[in-house]
Amino acid sequence: MEADQRNDWQDQRVIVTGGGGFLGRAVVDLLNQRGCCEVFVPRSQEYDLRKQEAIQRLLNETRPDMVIHLAAMVGGIGANQENPGKFFYDNLMMGVQLMEEARVHGVKKFVAVGSICAYPKFTPLPFKEEDLWSGYPEETNAPYGLAKKMLLVQSQAYRQQYGFNAIYLLPVNLYGPHDNFDPRVSHVIPALIKKCFDAQLKGEDILCVWGTGRATREFLYVDDAAEGVVLASEKYNKSEPVNIGAGFEISIKDLAEMIARLTGFKGRIIWDTSKPDGQPRRCLDVARAKQEFGFTARTTLEQGLRKTIAWYQKEFKVNG
């Protein structure tokens, strides 16, 4: 680590909303490694970020130099379809009020972490940041994606009017240890890992997966994503949004087969085509992150999946 990076962080007070969550935990760990001595993680029981009074109290009590906003109401396709209003309202109110109060309280930098769901449903591949406004997001998660996208509008408007240093990052689908394996809300990788082990535990030789398997996705290991967020927090101070990804795509069919192999599931995979695929394809152009603050993902998908599966087996005491 460079000495000047450590010194930069030593002198800063940082709020990480969602710091107890999946990505947040990795970001907080990395900030501590970088020498940041004052990292505050607000808990929802004490600070309901949907309420202006709670945000004001948080900022008055902690007096941060920087806010890294990771808190979000998230879930897979099913959860988004069941709760579109809640996903829209909660994410919009948290982000918009937090950025406004950060500006009012003199916070020096605001790092808004958006969502890949903000991109239009039919975005040309690879997704370039300038394509964000070329169409409507995929319907199953549009309310969530648009709520997070408003942080980009707000950050650019605040920079223009107030000179407020807010940046906007777009991480792709994340995975890794400490992910959410609850089948009601989990994303595709933890859902498939759990399904494979559950099937083996029950002696089943058929695995049913949502959709056709033809949709493609890009996945970023959580520690790599944390590195991207922290590097941008250190070095990036512009209004243009930045993709944070690995720069590849894999079909859900190939992903399911890889996870089956790595978990030891030897049965047959069948596809429930009555269920939606979500966005047809997803793969990011990651050139801007490399150019602006030197971020490149380092963990291959197979390496990351092996680490995630090993963590799951240890955490939930299961064997392949």
- Secondary structure (H, E, C), 261-277: HHHCCCCEEEEECCCCC
Q: Say which CATH number the domain at 118 has.
A: 3.40.50.720
What's the token pair of residue 154?
A: 């707000």
User: Would residue 81 count as lying in a domain?
Assistant: yes
Q: Is 25 left (phi over 0), alpha (psi -120 to 50) or beta?
A: alpha
User: Would residue 106 count as lying in a domain?
Assistant: yes
- Alpha-carbon distance of 301 to 177, in angstroms, equals 13
Q: State the total domains in the chain.
A: 1
Length of the chain: 320
- The answer to whether 116 and 128 are in contact (CB under 8 A) is no
Report the candidate in 190, 242, 243, 176 with the shortest Cα–Cα distance to residue 26. Answer: 176
**What is the predicted pLDDT for the residue at 186?**
81
Instruction: List C-alpha distances in Å: 153 to 108, 142, 159, 173, 238.
Output: 19, 16, 10, 22, 13
**What is the predicted pLDDT for the residue at 202?**
95
- Alpha-carbon distance of 84 to 280, in angstroms, equals 20
Instruction: List C-alpha distances in Å: 48 to 18, 43, 111, 242, 256.
Output: 11, 8, 19, 28, 37
User: Would residue 196 count as lying in a domain?
Assistant: no
User: Would residue 83 count as lying in a domain?
Assistant: yes
Write down the residue that tokens 């590849």 correspond to. Answer: 248
Domain of residue 98: give its range.
3-175+219-248+280-299
Q: Is 128 left (phi over 0), alpha (psi -120 to 50) or beta?
A: beta
List the pLDDT tens digit at each of the 320 positions of the chain. Answer: 444 444 589 999 999 999 999 999 999 999 999 999 999 999 999 999 999 999 999 999 999 999 999 999 877 777 778 989 999 999 999 999 999 999 999 999 999 999 999 999 999 999 999 999 999 999 988 999 999 999 999 999 999 999 999 999 999 999 999 999 988 778 899 999 999 999 999 999 999 999 999 999 999 999 999 999 999 999 999 999 999 999 999 999 999 999 999 999 999 999 999 998 888 889 999 999 999 999 999 999 999 999 999 999 999 998 76
DSSP letter at 114 equals: -
User: Would residue 311 count as lying in a domain?
Assistant: no
Bridge partners (DSSP) listed for residue 109:
66
Annotated active-site residue in 119, 144, 175, 236: 144
User: Would residue 316 count as lying in a domain?
Assistant: no
User: Would residue 157 count as lying in a domain?
Assistant: yes
119 catalytic, yes or no?
Answer: no
